[in-house]
Chains A and B, each alone.
Chain A
Amino acid sequence: GAGVSQTPSNKVTEKGKYVELRCDPISGHTALYWYRQSLGQGPEFLIYFQGTGAADDSGLPNDRFFAVRPEGSVSTLKIQRTERGDSAVYLCASSLSGGTIGNTEAFFGQGTRLTVV
């Protein structure tokens, strides 16, 4: 596609439910990143994929959060037993090559706004 696509754009879920957020990166981009942005804050790093593998998942806040990228393109961020504190905008970015998000420009999607009620 022309850019990074994230679906859904908005998701409202009840506390305790399971959600999946999808990211479709730019074709050919090997590096993929997930960030979380709370209201009034900058994006916070969650996880980085190089190809199919998670090269760094140190930003995932706890074991309720998990992400996969089984074929090295589309990625899914999964959140179990959602809590109200998980409400945020979840951003996905991709870049042509990995390792240095800044030295190889990263392109961001418009994000998924998750609201846990």
Chain B
Amino acid sequence: GDSVTQMEGPVTLSEEAFLTINCTYTATGYPSLFWYVQYPGEGLQLLLKATKADDKGSNKGFEATYRKETTSFHLEKGSVQVSDSAVYFCARLSGGFKTIFGAGTRLFVKA
């Protein structure tokens, strides 16, 4: 079935470091792809999305590009802040409306 695989955490970075969280998806169809974020004590929030190949989703300094050839949707940020500490989930649409989530990657950013 449809699935999403993302790098295991936790990822620990110093402030202003470059962030990459890898994500790959099963290549059935051409699904919409998402990154969700869960800040401590808060609910899941949509961070960014891309709906077709080569689209780049971006928000709050984060970016991810839909790569059909490598079935990837890696999350990047050029300079992380302490406030970016959270759990990040890569996800894909399946069956037109179900969202299939990866296991999540916890990010710690040190001051």
Contact partners of B32 in chain A: CB under 8 A: 100, 102-103
Q: Work out how many contacts link A and B, with CB atoms closer than 8 A.
A: 65
Distance in angstroms between the alpha carbons of A59 and B95 in the assembled complex: 12
> Within the complex, what minimum Cβ distance (angstroms) separates B37 from chain A?
11
Contact partners of A99 in chain B: CB under 8 A: 96-97
Given known pairs A43-B44, A108-B43, the reply for A101 and B97 (CB within 8 Å) is yes
- Where chain A touches its partner, the secondary structure class is loop
Q: Is B51 an interface residue (CB 8 A)?
A: yes
The segment from B11-19, B67-75, B76-84, B98-106 that touches chain A is: B98-106
Q: Is B34 an interface residue (CB 8 A)?
A: yes
Contact partners of A59 in chain B: CB under 8 A: 98
Using A102-B32, A102-B93, A103-B32 as known contacts, list a sample of 12 further A-B pairs with CB atoms less than 8 Å apart, ordered by residue number in A. A4-B43, A42-B103, A43-B44, A45-B100, A99-B97, A100-B32, A102-B46, A102-B49, A102-B99, A106-B99, A107-B43, A110-B43
Considering the complex of A and B, which 3 residue pairs feature the smallest CB-CB distances, nearest first?
A: A42-B101, A108-B44, A108-B43
B contact residues vs A (CB 8 Å cutoff): 4, 32, 34, 41-46, 49, 51, 89, 91, 93, 95-104
